[in-house]
Amino acid sequence: MDSPSSTRKPRRGDRLEGMILRYDRRGLAHGSSGDYTFSLRTGVPGDRLGFQVHKRRRHHLDGRSAELIEEGAARVQAPCRHSESCGGCAFQSCDYGVQLEQKHLLVSEALSAAGLTDLPEVEAVLGCENPWRYRNKMEFTFGNRRWVAPHEPEGVDADFAVGLHAPGLYLKVIDLAECHIVFEQGEAILGTARELAREQQLPLWDIREHVGFLRHLVLRHGVHTGEVMVNVVTSEENCALFEPFARGLLEAHPEITTLIQSINEGVADVAVGEREIVLHGPGYIEEELLGLRFRISARSFFQTNTLQAERLFEIVREEAALNGDEVVYDLYSGAGTIALMVAPAVREVLAFEQVADAVADARLNAERNEVRNVRFFEGDVLTEIDATLAPDSVLARPDVVLVDPPRAGLHPKMVGKLLELAPERLVYVSCNLHNGAQDIAHLIEGGYRIQRIRPVDLFPHTPHVECVVTLTR
Ligand SMILES: C[S@@+](CC[C@H](N)C(=O)[O-])C[C@H]1O[C@@H](n2cnc3c(N)ncnc32)[C@H](O)[C@@H]1O
């Protein structure tokens, strides 16, 4: 490895040193080294690192094979042995307070990248009281192509893994012996699933050849109810293979309140099935949020950090500033959480969601919580909203709209529909402000103004940050 002379440009293989300054929205650590900026998959703001140049693009270098020269003040001991290889929590070597400051910067960057200036101050990111064991849902992958660490001896067993995909390596799965963000019983169930799959010699899915039996292990937990769902995604039903595996899980974990086998015969690497077979329990779990009880089935979206979702929904309720007489639209309503939470404070809520199971859960949730002023509409929100906009529609127009779209943000046509709906107040909940900020920029062009920007951390140790942006007309 060469060090570049002061006159020539750095080349692949050169070794340089530099200081990490910040994280980016993909979780990469960025720093500066002389006239160049660089990015690495590792490092904590404040660290001084040596690295090898992998690629040069103008004044930016992609680095590899980093080596810590001097620890920064923000560096902490990562509790997980997989922290350097697993992409699940890229920031776990960084002090949690510094993570929150970094997320604050990411929010500001996303807003300015969308051309949004002259805004109210971005408020401090509301952090978690406990940033560990916060995930009430985890999707693990079974795979026959294990990611092998550079220090492992040659010939190591590389055809068996249950865990998460290695970052940037879609084909490889890290065999996770521990995971500190999943709920506690979840980690133990992961271990049992691994042992049983080995003992029973169950074929693990080959993501390239599309053969094998076990595909995904999806775990869900009701934090306030203690209920646990295990959903095993397999490539076919095959009772002879599945029953002993299911029995083993239930015997080892009496805390499992429902066990589902989902059959995914397709090639797409998704942890849902075309068909579900309930082998134990009711096929769903229940969770409580801010005093309401929710039924959650395998396909329903539900916020993955229960305690922090409660903080998020309190903020949404505050920002909606309801006085008891409004018509509220909840767009992208999932299992009805936000709709049911605001219902007691308004005249009526109209909620829109496309996943049929989520809408079924939502209707049941309304009934069981004795909420009678919410109507749920099933279908693509874009088409469903058209019905409310039709001149002969009997549906009331909204005073307040709450939108909580998926990571991609709003469909481009949806912004136009929101402008036609023209609510006085619009609360945009974004789980990916990089996309959300573009939507917000269009809403501002259409006559809205931002009132408040309140980020909430639902995903410690990852680059993700949720943000509630309140707009008024
Ligand atoms: C981020 S989740 C929000 C769910 C809910 N607000 C909550 O907090 O539990 C986004 C939801 O949008 C739904 N969705 C995605 N695209 C949609 C579309 N085109 N029309 C209606 N719903 C959609 C998803 O199924 C998911 O339930």
Q: Tens digits of per-residue pLDDT, 318-342?
A: 999 999 999 999 999 999 999 999 9
305-472 domain in CATH 3.40.50.150?
yes
- Known catalytic residues? 431
Instruction: Answer whether 99 contacts ligand 1 (Cβ < 6 A).
Output: no
Q: Mean pLDDT over residues 217-230, rounded?
A: 98
Q: Mean pLDDT over residues 74-82, rounded?
A: 95
Most ligand 1 atoms within 8 A of CB, residue of 137, 290, 301, 349 to mutate: 301
CATH of domain 137-286: 2.40.50.1070
Q: Kindly give the distance from the C-alpha atom of residue 330 to the centroid of ligand 1, in angstroms, as a whole number.
A: 10
Tell if the pTM clears 0.85, that is, is over it.
yes
In CATH terms, the superfamily for domain 15-70 is: Nucleic acid-binding proteins (2.40.50.140)
pLDDT at 154: 79
Q: Which atom of ligand 1 has the smallest separation from the CA of 431?
A: 1
Q: Mean pLDDT over residues 151-160, rounded?
A: 84
pLDDT at 5: 57
Residues 14, 150: Cα–Cα separation, whole Å: 20
How many percent of the chain have pLDDT more than 90?
Answer: 87
Are 280 and 255 spatial neighbours (Cβ–Cβ below 8 Å)? no
Q: Whose CA is nearest to atom 14 of ligand 1?
A: 332
Q: Whose CA is nearest to atom 7 of ligand 1?
A: 334
Q: Mean pLDDT over residues 356-376, rounded?
A: 95
Q: Whose CA is nearest to atom 6 of ligand 1?
A: 333
228-234 vs 258-263, strand pairing mode: parallel
Residue 465 is given by DSSP the state -
Instruction: Answer whether 399 contacts ligand 1 (Cβ < 6 A).
Output: no
CA-based nearest residue to 160, from 198, 128, 115, 117: 198
Are 322 and 346 spatial neighbours (Cβ–Cβ below 8 Å)? yes
If 0-12 CB within 10 Å is exposed, 13-18 middle and 19+ buried, where does residue 363 land?
middle
Tally of CA atoms within 13 A in the half-sphere of 95 that contains its CB: 11
Q: Kindly give the distance from the C-alpha atom of residue 335 to the centroid of ligand 1, in angstroms, as a whole number.
A: 9
Q: Whose CA is nearest to atom 18 of ligand 1?
A: 380
Tally of CA atoms within 13 A in the half-sphere of 92 that contains its CB: 20
Q: Is the pLDDT score of 6 beyond 70? A: no
pLDDT at 2: 54
Model confidence band, residue 427 (pLDDT cutoffs 50, 70, 90):
very high
Q: Mean pLDDT over residues 7-20, rounded?
A: 93
Residue type, 400: V
CA-based nearest residue to 263, from 224, 205, 333: 205
| pLDDT, tens digit, 9 for 90 and up, residues 253-310 | 999 999 999 999 999 889 988 999 999 999 999 999 999 999 999 988 899 999 999 9
Q: Which atom of ligand 1 has the smallest separation from the CA of 355?
A: 25
Find how far residue 105's CA is from the centre of its chain.
19
pLDDT at 365: 93
Among 85-99, 220-234, 438-452, which stretch is predicted with the lowest mean pLDDT? 85-99
If 0-12 CB within 10 Å is exposed, 13-18 middle and 19+ buried, where does residue 156 land?
exposed
Average pLDDT of the chain is 94
Instruction: Answer whether 301 contacts ligand 1 (Cβ < 6 A).
Output: yes
| Percent helix, percent strand, percent coil in the chain, to nearest 5 | 25, 30, 45
Q: Kindly give the distance from the C-alpha atom of residue 384 to the centroid of ligand 1, in angstroms, as a whole number.
A: 13
pLDDT at 161: 95
Most ligand 1 atoms within 8 A of CB, residue of 354, 357, 413, 417 to mutate: 354
H helix or E strand, kind and range, residue 161 = strand 161-166
Among 7-11, 229-233, 400-404, 447-451, which stretch is predicted with the lowest mean pLDDT? 7-11
CA-based nearest residue to 228, from 249, 214, 245: 249
Name residue, tokens 């929101």: 418
pLDDT at 456: 98
pLDDT at 86: 86
CA-based nearest residue to 432, from 410, 401, 400, 402: 410
Domains of the chain, by residue range, sit at: 15-70, 137-286, 305-472
Q: Do domains 15-70 and 137-286 have the same CATH topology?
A: yes
pLDDT at 84: 83
Q: How far is CA 40 from CA 30, 111, 169, in A?
A: 7, 24, 16
Q: Is the pLDDT score of 4 beyond 80? A: no
